[in-house]
Amino acid sequence: MKTLIKNAWVLTMNEQMEQFPNGYLMVDDEKISEAGTMDSLPKAVSYDRCIDAKGAILLPGMVNTHTHIGMIPFRSLGDDYPDRLRRFLFPLENECMNEQLAYTSGKYAIAEMQLAGVTTFFDMYYFEQQLAEAADEMHSRALLAESVIDTVTVDVPDPMGGLQYAEEFLPKWQGHHRIQASIGPHAPYSNTIEVLQKADALSKKYDVPWMMHVSEMDFELEKYRKERNQTPVEFLEEIGVLSSRLVAAHCIHLTDHDIELLKKYDVKVAHCIGANTKSAKGVARVRDLINAGVIVGLGTDGPSSGNTLDLFSQMRMFANFHKTYLHDRSAFPAEQIVKLATIGGAKALGLEEQIGTIEAGKQADFILVETDSVNMFPIYDPYSALVYSANAGNVRDVFIDGKQVVSGKKLADADLAQLRAELSEAMEQCGFRRKALQALNK
Kindly write down the DSSP assignment for every residue of 160-203, as one continuous string: TTHHHHHHHHGGGGTT-SSEEEEEEES-GGGS-HHHHHHHHHHH
Full residue range of the structural domain in which residue 190 is found? 62-348
In this structure, the answer to whether residues 55 and 202 fall within a common structural domain is no
pLDDT on residue 86: 82
Mean pLDDT of 369-380: 98
Q: Is residue 144 part of a domain?
A: yes
CB 11 within 8 Å of CB 358:
yes
Taking only the tens place, the pLDDT of each residue in 147-205 is 999 988 999 988 889 999 999 999 999 999 999 999 999 999 999 999 999 999 999 99
Name the burial class of residue 232, with classes exposed (0-12), middle (13-18) and buried (19+) by CB atoms within 10 angstroms of its CB. Answer: buried
Is residue 295 scored above 90 in pLDDT?
yes
Task: Say how far apart CA 381 and CA 421 lie, in whole Å.
Answer: 40
In this structure, the answer to whether residues 136 and 275 fall within a common structural domain is yes
In this structure, the answer to whether residues 370 and 403 fall within a common structural domain is yes
CB 18 within 8 Å of CB 59:
no
Q: Is residue 435 part of a domain?
A: no
Provide the strand spans (E) within 326-400. 366-369, 395-400
pLDDT on residue 38: 97
Give the three-class secondary structure for 312.
Answer: helix
Q: Is residue 370 part of a domain?
A: yes
pLDDT on residue 367: 99
Mean pLDDT of 403-432: 98
Task: Say how far apart CA 377 and CA 216 lie, in whole Å.
Answer: 39
> In the chain, what percentage of residues exceed pLDDT 90?
94
The CATH code of the domain that includes 156 is 3.20.20.140
Is residue 320 scored above 90 in pLDDT?
yes
In this structure, the answer to whether residues 89 and 212 fall within a common structural domain is yes
Q: Nearest Cα to 285, choosing from 240, 253, 247?
A: 253
> In the chain, what percentage of residues exceed pLDDT 70?
100
Task: Say how far apart CA 346 and CA 295 lie, in whole Å.
Answer: 10
CB 190 within 8 Å of CB 226:
no
CB 369 within 8 Å of CB 409:
no
Mean pLDDT of 221-235: 97
CB 141 within 8 Å of CB 355:
yes
In this structure, the answer to whether residues 176 and 107 fall within a common structural domain is yes
Q: Is residue 439 part of a domain?
A: no
The CATH code of the domain that includes 50 is 2.30.40.10
Q: How many domains does one find in the chain?
A: 2
In this structure, the answer to whether residues 315 and 246 fall within a common structural domain is yes
Report how far apart, in Å, the C-alpha atoms of 359 and of each of 99, 343, 388 are. Answer: 39, 12, 26
Q: Considering 309, 325, 348, which residue would you say is the last residue of a domain?
A: 348
Taking only the tens place, the pLDDT of each residue in 10-55 is 999 999 999 999 999 999 999 999 999 999 998 888 999 999 999 9
Q: Is residue 112 part of a domain?
A: yes
In this structure, the answer to whether residues 164 and 15 fall within a common structural domain is no
In this structure, the answer to whether residues 340 and 303 fall within a common structural domain is yes
Taking only the tens place, the pLDDT of each residue in 68-119 is 999 999 999 999 988 787 888 888 999 999 999 999 999 999 999 999 999 9
In this structure, the answer to whether residues 39 and 95 fall within a common structural domain is no
Give the three-class secondary structure for 32.
Answer: strand
What one-letter code names the amino acid at 83?
Answer: D
Q: Is residue 421 part of a domain?
A: no
pLDDT on residue 287: 98
Task: Say how far apart CA 439 and CA 126 lie, in whole Å.
Answer: 22
In this structure, the answer to whether residues 47 and 165 fall within a common structural domain is no
pLDDT on residue 70: 98
pLDDT on residue 160: 85
In this structure, the answer to whether residues 44 and 119 fall within a common structural domain is no
Mean pLDDT of 247-267: 98
Q: Is residue 437 part of a domain?
A: no
Report how far apart, in Å, the C-alpha atoms of 34 and of each of 3, 25, 26, 45, 212 are. Answer: 11, 6, 5, 12, 37
Mean of pLDDT over the chain: 97
Q: Is residue 98 part of a domain?
A: yes
Q: Considering 296, 317, 348, which residue would you say is the last residue of a domain?
A: 348
CB 179 within 8 Å of CB 351:
no
H-type alpha helices, 292-411: 311-326, 334-341, 343-348, 382-384
pLDDT on residue 84: 84
Give the three-class secondary structure for 60.
Answer: strand
Is residue 272 scored above 90 in pLDDT?
yes
In this structure, the answer to whether residues 184 and 159 fall within a common structural domain is yes
pLDDT on residue 90: 87
Mean pLDDT of 59-63: 98
pLDDT on residue 323: 97
